[in-house]
Structure 1
Amino acid sequence: MGFLKKLFQIVSGKKYRNCPDGAAVDPVAQRALQAGLINSEQIMAYCDSYTTGLSHSTLAEGLGSHWDISSPQEAAETLESLGRYGHRFFYDIVFRVHSDGASEGRQEVLEALIVSGRYGAPETVRKQITAQEPCEEKSLVFSALEQAMEMLGNLRSVFRLVEDKVNGSYLPKDYSAGILAWDLGRLVTVARMSLDCKYIELDEFSRILAHVDKEVRSNFSSWPQFAKSYIIGRASWAGQNMMLSGITGIAEDLMTDDKSPWVLSPL
């Protein structure tokens, strides 16, 4: 499908598709599903149910091409990574480097990755990355460094430029609040798609929804606040482009439309 046609479908497709077999009734599940609304509206999934309502071929293509998921093991690994780290792991690092005013930032980002402990004991990692011989840990750190540097460039390009019609221009304090919403929204969608593909069981899906609900209630006081965190995450991941405008438009509708689940069920 051509890019412009896909963008048109995202922006003008039917809003808030309800599952004909009935909506989720548990309040925990409802809030978690609403945390995934920007993403579910983007892919035109049902807004109110465990199932996405998408065809198996669409699900397989989406999980495979965007998430490298084609098996239960890969689904479990991706969902674990999203829940534990997500893009916020890199964002928190690069936002600190950006705030400190580092001119290039590469060495500062590398040091932050090392001391994070994610890739092993810091002293061991330092020895591995300075050694001549290759190793898996060294490869992981430098791959992470490239991802983080790309995000740093994106953050610098969008800092203080992102806005929406409800929240207005985003302030430095909005950027410093982080991008948890971006990770939570994607976690819900990937979990729903994985459940539809039978890559995860219902018990695991319910556990993920409970985790998302807890994080939403602990960190956000309104859906507009959640939207800011999500949009900053999207902007930092891919910078300014046409798709960011489409995502922002979806969020604006969710914050203002009388039929929106966010408007009907505020936090």
Structure 2
Amino acid sequence: MQRILPETDLEKKLMSLGAPFIEENQVLDELFQVVGSDLEEGKELSPEIREQVMDEIGEYFFRLDMNYGPDIKLDCLAILEEFWGVADRETCQKSLENIRTQGHRTKFNVLRSALPSDGSIDAVSMEKFRQIFRFDLEEGQELQMSDADYSKLALWVQRTNKYLKEPGILAWDASRYIHLVRLSFVAGHLSDIQAWSEILKLAPLIEGRFSNWMDFSQSLLIGRTFWSGSDDPRVKSICEKLLGHPASPWQFISWS
């Protein structure tokens, strides 16, 4: 029998990193209908009730199959191939390794380091920033960006210093890593044993890197904006809901 749910607190914490992708389907309110009577404001949960609530949260947020299973296998296969370049186990594991070792955070950190920390951007720094940004473009790939676009991006990257702590945009890489494992499991590229093994490989990268879920969500949102090129109010709303909703896994799993 396949193991769909986490068995340890560490596995639950790691699965919680992918909560923003799960909440895209707006499951928190549905979950609250199940456990809401136990989550009255100011009410302290007994260990038994807390465990029951966590079990229900797990059915929505911790499952490898995202509570859909084979019903979405074809969708997952298409998403993986179109958006992740993943077509089989080999390309899946290669993509997961890339996120663990580099991800989007590596390029972001190099771009940040190219800019002065005092808020100014001179011509030399701007040219270095431009070269770094274009460095990993594939041969023949054109990037339609004007000088004004580069300046706007550089200013934005520089401003993120006010909001990001040492991990940078690690949360974004961690969250999409968990989502990639889930998609690959449902698609059949990974067995349950392989999926949990890949998930646990993320632990050394993430443990002790964030003080709380607020820091994590800030890191995630900035990382997603860097990847997409624009803010997404919907994703910001999802993170805000996960931070404040009484049935959110982020309310029950601590970084300390």
Q: 1:25 to 1:151 in 2, by over 3 A?
A: farther
What is the RMSD of the two structures over their aligned residues, measured on CA atoms? 3.5
Aligned residue pairs total 212
Q: How far apart, in 2, do the equivalents of 1:154 and 1:177 lie?
A: 20
Give the alignment's TM-score, normalised by structure 2: 0.69
Q: How far apart, in 2, do the equivalents of 1:230 and 1:193 lie?
A: 19
SS in 2 for 1:50: coil
Q: Which amino acid aligns with 2:237?
A: G
Q: 1:159 to 1:194 in 2, by over 3 A?
A: same
Aligned 8 A contact 1:98 1:152 in 2: no
Structure 2 residue 112 is the aligned partner of structure 1 residue 95: yes
Q: How far apart, in 2, do the equivalents of 1:22 and 1:206 lie?
A: 9
Q: CA deviation at 1:213?
A: 2.9
Q: Which amino acid aligns with 1:84?
A: T
SS in 2 for 1:105: helix
Partner of 1:105: 126
Q: How far apart, in 2, do the equivalents of 1:247 and 1:75 lie?
A: 25
Q: CA deviation at 1:26?
A: 1.7
Higher relative contact order, structure no. (Cα contacts within 8 Å, ≥ 6 residues apart): 2
Q: CA deviation at 1:207?
A: 2.5
SS in 2 for 1:174: coil
Partner of 1:52: 66
Return 5+ residue gaps in structure 1 as ranges. 1-20, 120-138, 161-169
**Which portions of structure 1, spanning 4 or more consecutive aligned residues, are displaced by more than 6 angstroms?**
111-114, 149-152
Partner of 2:95: 78
Q: How far apart, in 2, do the equivalents of 1:25 and 1:151 lie?
A: 47
Residues 170-205 of structure 1, C-alpha deviations (whole Å, 9 max, x = no match): 761526641000000000100111112221233432
Return 5+ residue gaps in structure 2 as ranges. 28-59
Partner of 1:130: none
For residues 58-69 of structure 1, the aligned pairs below 5 Å read 58-69=75-86
Residues 200-250 of structure 1, C-alpha deviations (whole Å, 9 max, x = no match): 233432232223233332201211111111011011122334xx1111100
Q: How far apart, in 2, do the equivalents of 1:97 and 1:146 lie?
A: 22
Q: CA deviation at 1:263?
A: 0.7
For residues 13-24 of structure 1, the aligned pairs below 5 Å read 23-24=5-6
Structure 2 residue 250 is the aligned partner of structure 1 residue 251: no
Structure 2 residue 191 is the aligned partner of structure 1 residue 174: no
